[in-house]
Amino acid sequence: MLTIRDLVKVYPGPVTALQGIHLDIPQGMFGLLGPNGAGKSTLMRILAGLLEPTAGQVSLHGEDILKDPQKVRRHLGYLPQDFGFYPHLSGEKMLAHLLTLKGVTARGRSLRKLCSELLERVNLSAAAGRKVKSYSGGMRQRLGIAQAIAGDPRLIIVDEPTAGLDPEERLRFYHLLAELAKDRIVLLSTHIVEDVAVLCPRFALIRQGRLLACSRPSEAVAEVEGTIYEGSVAPEELDRLRSQHRVTQSLLVEGRNRVRIYQPEGSPPEGFLPVVTSLEDAYLVAMGNAQAGGIAEVPEGRHPNSQTEPTPQAPAPEGMS
């Protein structure tokens, strides 16, 4: 169990990035879901022992991890949000370099053998000799995971690992993370609701350094069941609708706005029908509730039912050198 108590981080500025986070993270996959600037990376960097908190306590299986970050780092795998690779090194050489930096010892085996085992584990054996610059986004993330799992850590922290992956690579990455979470804590931060819906039996929602919820996806969905309605309005009617109802999503389709509204009580506007709710609905409602007097809205151009990221970055073509 990873236990986080009253964690506060104030950056110079001052910017309060974490405002007293209180969380218990059990074995398995745990999602930390929140928009840009919510404080996800700050939290993860503190847990990884790379950043000192302003206040608060963190313990892993009862051991204070803030007191001796060096010691804990040995039991920890961390994949940062922006992972730096040397593009001209092969995957295998890059991994060997990262393991050396991390201080991972091969325990009797050669470093080369250890790298080859790790590359096998993340399904990169066939690309081991290729330069990292020829890797797709997903392959790079898997290489990042290979260094994170070296030394068989009890806790793996992955910061926004699926951002920029195409759907196929994301799926492959999901399988890898799910496999890793069988016998350890895997903490995944993301702003992609689908990551949590697919992977995480438990998740926490954070925004502006505050914890909004800690729940199971199914429970979060059940909470908004029966409160979301969908209908279609002309673009000129949208402002009026917004002034009277809580619009959570809108998408322009063939010149009209397909709109979702959150209506916990009272009747919906004419022509609006109840929909089967998703975790994305729950997320948007929670964000909207947290935003004083405002509404969290999905940008135009995104399908209301879609739980995938709007613009995944295309991976570099395979075979490019």
Per CB under 6 A, contacts with ligand ATP among 196-215 are: none
Residue 42 touches which of ligand ATP, Mg ion, none (CB < 5 to 8 A by kind)? ligand ATP
Per CB under 6 A, contacts with ligand ATP among 177-196 are: 191
Residue 293 touches which of Mg ion, ligand ATP, none (CB < 5 to 8 A by kind)? none
Residue 36 touches which of Mg ion, ligand ATP, none (CB < 5 to 8 A by kind)? ligand ATP
CB of 276 to ligand ATP, least distance (A): 28
Q: Confirm or reject binding of residue 34 to ligand ATP (CB under 6 A).
A: yes
Residue 127, CA distances (Å) to 82, 101, 121, 134, 196 in order: 22, 22, 13, 9, 29
Size of the site for ligand ATP (CB under 6 A): 14
Residue 34 touches which of ligand ATP, Mg ion, none (CB < 5 to 8 A by kind)? ligand ATP
Q: Which bin fits 56, alpha (ψ -120 to 50), beta or left (φ > 0)?
A: left
**Nearest residue (CB) to ligand ATP, 16 versus 305:** 16
Phi, psi of 245 (to 5 degrees): -135, 165
**Nearest residue (CB) to ligand ATP, 124 versus 193:** 193
Q: How is the chain split among helix, strand and coil, in percent rounded to 5?
A: 35, 25, 40
- The Cα 81–Cα 40 span in angstroms is 10
Output DSSP code: residue 309: -
The residue assigned the tokens 């995104």 is: 302
- The Cα 165–Cα 141 span in angstroms is 9
Q: Which of 38, 72, 122, 132 binds ligand ATP (CB under 6 A)?
A: 38
The angle at the Cα of 237, spanning 233 to 240, to the nearest 5 degrees, equals 125
**Nearest residue (CB) to Mg ion, 40 versus 142:** 40
**Nearest residue (CB) to ligand ATP, 14 versus 293:** 14
- The Cα 46–Cα 136 span in angstroms is 29
- The Cα 171–Cα 150 span in angstroms is 22
CB of 307 to Mg ion, least distance (A): 20
Residues 6+ apart with CB under 8 A from 22: 4, 5, 6, 7, 211
Q: Confirm or reject binding of residue 208 to Mg ion (CB under 5 A).
A: no
Residue 13 touches which of Mg ion, ligand ATP, none (CB < 5 to 8 A by kind)? ligand ATP
**Nearest residue (CB) to Mg ion, 124 versus 177:** 177
CB of 13 to ligand ATP, least distance (A): 5
Query: Quick one: tokens of 76?
Result: 């920890």
Q: Which of 2, 21, 25, 40 binds ligand ATP (CB under 6 A)?
A: 40
Residue 245 touches which of ligand ATP, Mg ion, none (CB < 5 to 8 A by kind)? none
Per CB under 6 A, contacts with ligand ATP among 55-94 are: 81
Q: Are 65 and 47 in contact (CB under 8 A)?
A: yes
Q: Given the rule CB under 5 A, which residues bind Mg ion?
A: 40-41, 81
Q: Given the rule CB under 6 A, which residues bind ligand ATP?
A: 11, 13, 15, 17, 34, 36-42, 81, 191
